[in-house]
Structure 1
Amino acid sequence: MPSNDVITQEALNVYLKDLPDWREVPGAIAAVYETKGSAEAIELFSDIAGAAEMDNHHPDVDWRYNLIFVTTTSHDVGGQITARDIALASKISERANALGATARTDLVGVVEVCIDTDNPEAIASQWAAGLGYKFLTDGSLADPNRRGPAIWFQGTDTPNDNRLHLDVWVPDSESQPILAALEASGVNAQADNAPAFTVITDSQGNRFCICTEAGRWPE
């Protein structure tokens, strides 16, 4: 497979079975590694940088004391997953394992801000101007430095009174404890579209969605 080929959903599902540290998030794959301390985290960070330079393919890496958050996608094909991402993820897993780092799949996650609107085109450029974001091919907005949350416009003829909500993306494998904790807290959980997404309404009527990769994208 040429290294710039976009991977189909079916193929990605197969690849991820051999990459147990990694989970799918919108347009990318992600992993989190916990090390013994900050020195080991810095060493892993350096190893990831070396692998990225060798492959000329650079992931987003965030260091938090003894935790390394890493996400890889192929920006040159519109933020999709390619064979390069799979190859890099495999090398990162090898280096993490060699350093004795622990994969923390329970910490993998992405948060998007969603706006209910019956006319996305009328407001998208305003949000882009205010945030300094760029448009993606699916009509959403992204931070060009990939630090702030993406903005997604939820097209609907009947916008909710509270037009802003969050989409909290978590791996399907880690979603049940989160949903159980939410239900125990007394929220209203609408699971008609689970596991793709579960609509959560808090006691004051505010909403957010717990989203997973399961059943979300076509094979």
Structure 2
Amino acid sequence: MAVLTNDQVDAALVDLPNWERAAGALRRSVKFPAFLDGIDAVRRVAEFAELKDHHPDIDIRWRTVTFALVTHSAGGITEKDVQMAGEIDRILGL
């Protein structure tokens, strides 16, 4: 899968509010009402990611969960990452 150009990533971000490009990945942080709500969200995203065999990097800091997407095998952001970002928003109801 081809790495997207900066222009392609910028165009994709128009449809992904609250996502940003940072440190070579698509990133979004979500603050949940309680710690266990964040853990449940991670579980739901992880189950979907496992089905798709495309796994985000996930950082949990108390009630804030940060998802980072990059296709390591391609060396950058690909269409798979853009699609997964949209799916994460859908799964979390954002």
Range class of TM-score, shorter chain: over 0.9
The one of 65, 68, 86 equivalent to 1:68 is 65
The one of 83, 87, 90 equivalent to 1:91 is 87
**Pairs aligned (count):** 94
Counterpart code for 2:87: K
| Large movers: runs of 4+ above 3 Å | none
Deviations 1:160-181 (Å, cap 9, x if unpaired)?
xxxxxxxxxxxxxxxxxxxxxx
Contact persistence 1:74–1:82 (CA under 8 A): yes
Q: How far, CA to CA, are the matches of 2:79 and 2:31 in structure 1? A: 26
Q: How far, CA to CA, are the matches of 1:37 and 1:94 in structure 2? A: 20
> RCO higher in 1 or 2 (8 Å CA, sep ≥ 6)?
2
TM-score normalised by the chain length of structure 1: 0.41
Q: How far, CA to CA, are the matches of 1:9 and 1:70 in structure 2? A: 20
Q: 2:42 is matched with which residue?
A: 45
CA RMSD across the alignment:
1.2
- Calculate percent identity across the aligned residue pairs: 28
- Which of structures 1 and 2 has the bigger CA Rg? 1
Whose strand fraction is larger, Structure 1's or Structure 2's? 1
**Superposition deviation, residue 51 in structure 1:** 1.8
Contact persistence 1:33–1:96 (CA under 8 A): no
Deviations 1:120-141 (Å, cap 9, x if unpaired)?
xxxxxxxxxxxxxxxxxxxxxx
**Superposition deviation, residue 11 in structure 1:** 1.2
Q: 1:59 is matched with which residue?
A: 56
| Unpaired runs of at least 5, structure 2 | none
Counterpart code for 1:5: A
Q: 2:12 is matched with which residue?
A: 15
**Superposition deviation, residue 52 in structure 1:** 1.0
Q: 2:30 is matched with which residue?
A: 33
Alignment of 1:1-219 (within 5 A): 4-78=1-75, 80-97=76-93
**Superposition deviation, residue 96 in structure 1:** 2.0
Where 2:93 maps in the other structure, the secondary structure is: helix
Counterpart code for 2:66: F
Whose helix fraction is larger, Structure 1's or Structure 2's? 2
Where 1:68 maps in the other structure, the secondary structure is: strand
| Unpaired runs of at least 5, structure 1 | 99-219
Q: How far, CA to CA, are the matches of 2:7 and 2:89 in structure 1? A: 22
Where 1:75 maps in the other structure, the secondary structure is: coil
Counterpart code for 2:86: S
